[in-house]
Amino acid sequence: QDEELRCIGCGAVIQSTDPDAPGYTPKSAVEKGLANNELYCQRCFRLRHYNEIAPVSLSDDDFLKLLSQIGQAKALIVYVVDIFDFNGSLIPGLHRFVGDNPVLLVGNKEDLLPHSLRRSKLRDWIRQQANIAGLRPIDTVLVSAKKNHQIDELLDTIEKYRGDRDVYVVGVTNVGKSTLINQIIKLRTGVKDLITTSRFPGTTLDEIEIPLDDGHRLVDTPGIIHPHQMAHVLSPKALKLVAPQKEIKPRTYQLNPDQTLFLGGIARFDYLKGDRAGLVAYFDNNLTIHRTKLANADRFYEKHVGELLTPPTKDELDSFPPLEREEFRVHEKSDIVFEGLGWITVPAGTTVAAWVPKGVAALIRRAMI
- Residue 93 contacts residue 11 (beta carbons within 8 Å): yes
Is position 151 an interface residue for ligand GDP (rule: CB under 6 A)? no
Query: Dihedral sign, CA of 192, 194, 197, 199?
Result: negative
CA angle 14, 19, 23 (to 5 degrees): 20
235 contributes a contact to ligand GDP by CB under 6 A? no
Q: Give the nearest distance from C-beta 85 to ligand GDP in angstroms.
A: 10
Is the preceding peptide bond at 312 cis, omega within 30 degrees of 0?
Answer: yes
Q: Quick one: which of 10, 78, 112, 212 contacts ligand GDP (CB under 6 A)?
A: 112
Would you say 210 or 305 has its CB closer to ligand GDP? 210
Q: Which of 46, 96, 127, 146 binds ligand GDP (CB under 6 A)?
A: 146
Choose, by CB under 6 A, the member of 64, 103, 111, 271 that binds ligand GDP.
111
Residue 25 sits in the site that holds ligand GDP (CB under 6 A):
no
Q: Is 174 in the site for ligand GDP (CB under 6 A)?
A: yes
Q: Does 313 bind ligand GDP (CB under 6 A)?
A: no
Minimum gap (Å) between residue 84 Cβ and ligand GDP? 8
Is residue 90 within 8 A of residue 3, CB to CB? The reply is no
Q: Rounded to the nearest whole angstrom, what is the least distance from the CB of residue 308 to ligand GDP in the complex?
A: 27
- Segment lying near ligand GDP (by CB under 6 A), choices 68-76, 173-181, 197-205, 289-297: 173-181
Amino acid letter at 132?
I
Q: Is 257 helix (H, G, I), strand (E, B) or coil?
A: coil
Q: Check binding of 223 to ligand GDP (CB under 6 A).
A: yes
Strand stretches in the chain, DSSP E: 75-82, 103-108, 139-142, 166-170, 196-199, 206-211, 217-220, 251-255, 259-263, 267-273, 277-283, 289-293, 323-330, 334-338, 342-346, 350-357, 362-366
Q: How near is the Cβ of 151 to ligand GDP at its closest, in Å?
A: 10
Task: Give me the phi and psi of 251, to 5 degrees please.
Answer: -115, 125
**Which residues contact ligand GDP by CB under 6 A?**
108-109, 111-112, 144-146, 171, 173-179, 223, 245
